[in-house]
Amino acid sequence: DAGITQSPRHKVTETGTPVTLRCHQTENHRYMYWYRQDPGHGLRLIHYSYGVKDTDKGEVSDGYSVSRSKTEDFLLTLESATSSQTSVYFCAISEEGGTTHYEQYFGPGTRLTVT
Amino acid sequence: QQPVQSPQAVILREGEDAVINCSSSKALYSVHWYRQKHGEAPVFLMILLKGGEQKGHDKISASFNEKKQQSSLYLTASQLSYSGTYFCGTDSGSARQLTFGSGTQLTVLP
């Protein structure tokens, strides 16, 4: 299994508070991604990173920011949490090479509830 | 734009076959398939590249029709362990971003 951890695994927070989720990898992979998963929508990309301090927006980036100061860590911040951001958040990593061609490996997920 | 998966759900008996389809309105560079069990993370199954051959993984195989922008996942002689939600992820060539379908829930009964 790819070495990806997410913290916290569960969090309940109140509307309007900032929240930071952490993704940590031990694989030294270049690419890191944040997705949210909601019933009926599958996985939707929030932000991704292609290197230290190199990030870009995904499909549903409004209300979220990210930072990557080290290869192994990718942080997702909800600047002011809203109930619509209640979701399961998955981090993923990928690396191009050989025949694998950037398959993505997912972390265990963080279940966030905004009340 | 999100690829369309069909069917949304399928129930079958152990040993039966199933096909899951994934269709996109965009030209595709590659298609990825993942399986997710309840409460767990998605797990990579296989990737199909433009111009590549059909892939296989145990009794699970897939095809990619570039002209029709479609991919199909074939599960042969289903096992109980095949139960879960299957997602296709499509890549239209933009910086390793995948766009995932909404999933197909597969239930295999004994």
Contacts across the A-B interface (CB distance below 8 Å): 50
Under 8 Å between Cβ of B27 and B13: no
Identify the CA nearest to B83 among candidates B108, B62, B54, B100. B108
pLDDT at B52: 65
Q: Which residues of A70-101 are buried (b: 16+ CB within 10 A; e: fewer)?
A: eebebbbebeebeeebbbbbbbbbbbeeeeeb
Torsion sign over Cα A94, A95, A96, A98: negative
DSSP A26: S
- How would residue A44 be classed by pLDDT, with cut points 50, 70 and 90? very high
Residue in A with minimal Cα distance to B87 = A42
Cβ–Cβ gap A101/B98 under 8 Å: no
pLDDT tens digit sequence for A25-40: 998 888 999 999 998 7
pLDDT greater than 60 at residue B7: yes
Contacts of B90 in chain A (CB under 8 A): none
Query: Per 3-state DSSP, what percentage of chain A is helix, strand, and coil (rounded to 5)?
Result: 5, 55, 40
- How would residue B95 be classed by pLDDT, with cut points 50, 70 and 90? low
Helix (H, G, I), strand (E, B) or coil at B80: helix
Question: Is the CB of B12 inside 8 Å of chain A's CB atoms?
Answer: no
Token digits of residue B79? 């096992």
pLDDT greater than 70 at residue B54: no
Residue % of chain B over a pLDDT of 70: 92
Question: Is the CB of B84 inside 8 Å of chain A's CB atoms?
Answer: no
Question: Is the CB of B3 inside 8 Å of chain A's CB atoms?
Answer: no
Under 8 Å between Cβ of B28 and B50: yes
Under 8 Å between Cβ of A20 and A75: yes
Provide the mean pLDDT of chain B. Answer: 90
pLDDT tens digit sequence for B60-74: 999 998 888 999 999
pLDDT tens digit sequence for A50-96: 889 999 999 999 999 999 999 999 999 999 999 999 999 999 998 76
pLDDT at B12: 96
A108: cis peptide before it, omega within 30°?
no
**Separation between Cα atoms, residue B68 and residue B26, nearest integer Å:** 10
Cβ–Cβ gap B41/A106 under 8 Å: yes
pLDDT greater than 80 at residue B57: no
DSSP A79: S
